[in-house]
A and B are shown apart, each in its own frame.
Chain A
Amino acid sequence: MSNTLRPYLNAVRSTLTAAMCLENFASQIVEKHNVPEVEAGNSQEVLLNPLVVSRNENEQVLIESSINSVRVSIRIKQADDIERILAHQFTRFLMMRAESFIILRRVPIKGYDISFLVTNFHTEQMFKHKLVDFIIEFMEEVDKEISEMKLSLNARARIVAESYLSQFV
Chain B
Amino acid sequence: MILLEPNSFVLEETLLARFTSEKPEIVDITLVDFDNVIYHVQTSAEQRTVLNLSVEMKYYDEVRAYGAEDILRREYGDYLVPTVNPQYQFTLQFNLEQLPADKAALAKHVSLIKRNVLASSFVRAFEYWESQQEGAGPLMATHYRDSEAIYVQAQHDRVTVIFSTLFKEEVDRVLGKVFLQEFVDARRQASIQNAPQVFYSSREPPLEIRHLPDLRQDESVGYVSFVLFPRHFANEEAREKTISQIQLFRDYLHYHIKCAKAYMHSRMRMRVKEFLKVINRAKPDRVTAASDKRTATGRYMRPHLRQPTSPQQGESDW
A→B interface (CB under 8 Å): 81-82, 85-86, 89-90, 93-94, 97, 100-103, 125-127, 130-131, 133-134, 137-138, 141, 145, 148-149, 152-154, 156-169
B175 at the interface (CB under 8 A from A): yes
A125 cross-chain contacts in B, Cβ below 8 A = 283-284
Within the complex, the shortest CB–CB distance from B98 to chain A, in Å, comes to: 37
Question: Which residues of B, 28-61, contact A by the 8 Å Cβ criterion?
Answer: none
A87 to B175 Cα, complex, angstroms: 14
Determine which of B3, B171, B263 lies in contact with A163 in the assembled complex, contact meaning CB atoms within 8 Å.
B3
Q: Which of B79-87, B191-199, B307-315 contacts A (4 or more CB under 8 A)?
A: B191-199
A131 to B259 Cα, complex, angstroms: 35
Q: Tell me whether A166 and B192 are in contact (CB under 8 A).
A: yes
B236 at the interface (CB under 8 A from A): no
Main secondary structure of the interface of A (DSSP, over half): helix
12 contacts between A and B (CB under 8 A): A97-B272, A127-B284, A133-B278, A141-B274, A148-B267, A149-B267, A153-B264, A154-B182, A160-B182, A165-B192, A169-B191, A169-B194
A169 cross-chain contacts in B, Cβ below 8 A = 191-192, 194-195
User: Nearest A residue to B269 by beta-carbon distance?
Assistant: A93
4 smallest A-B Cβ distances: which pairs?
Answer: A130-B282, A165-B195, A157-B182, A126-B282
Q: Which of B124-132, B241-249, B288-296 contacts A (4 or more CB under 8 A)?
A: B241-249
B→A interface (CB under 8 Å): 2-3, 170-171, 174-175, 177-179, 181-183, 185-187, 189, 191-192, 194-196, 198, 228, 232, 241-242, 245, 249, 252, 256, 259-260, 263-265, 267-269, 271-272, 274-276, 278-279, 281-284
Q: Tell me whether A138 and B275 are in contact (CB under 8 A).
A: yes
User: Nearest A residue to B169 by beta-carbon distance?
Assistant: A85
A159 to B3 Cα, complex, angstroms: 11
Within the complex, the shortest CB–CB distance from A164 to chain B, in Å, comes to: 6
**A81 and B275 contact, Cβ closer than 8 Å, known pairs A86-B264, A160-B256, A163-B3:** no
Q: Tell me whether B275 and A158 are in contact (CB under 8 A).
A: no
User: Nearest B residue to A166 by beta-carbon distance?
Assistant: B192
A30 to B281 Cα, complex, angstroms: 35
Q: Tell me whether B186 and A158 are in contact (CB under 8 A).
A: yes
**A149 and B264 contact, Cβ closer than 8 Å, known pairs A101-B276, A127-B282, A165-B195:** yes
Q: Tell me whether A152 and B263 are in contact (CB under 8 A).
A: yes
Within the complex, the shortest CB–CB distance from B175 to chain A, in Å, comes to: 7
Q: Tell me whether B183 and A163 are in contact (CB under 8 A).
A: no
Q: Tell me whether B2 and A163 are in contact (CB under 8 A).
A: yes
Taking A161-B183, A165-B196 as known contacts, 7 extra A-B pairs with beta carbons closer than 8 A to each other, sorted by chain A number, are: A85-B174, A93-B268, A126-B284, A130-B282, A149-B267, A158-B182, A165-B192
Determine which of A94, A101, A126, A145 lies in contact with B283 in the assembled complex, contact meaning CB atoms within 8 Å.
A126
Within the complex, the shortest CB–CB distance from A154 to chain B, in Å, comes to: 7
User: Nearest B residue to A158 by beta-carbon distance?
Assistant: B182
Within the complex, the shortest CB–CB distance from B209 to chain A, in Å, comes to: 22
User: Nearest B residue to A90 by beta-carbon distance?
Assistant: B268
**A153 and B252 contact, Cβ closer than 8 Å, known pairs A166-B195, A167-B241, A169-B194:** no
Among A127, A164, A166, the one with the most B-chain Cβ atoms within 10 Å of its Cβ is A164
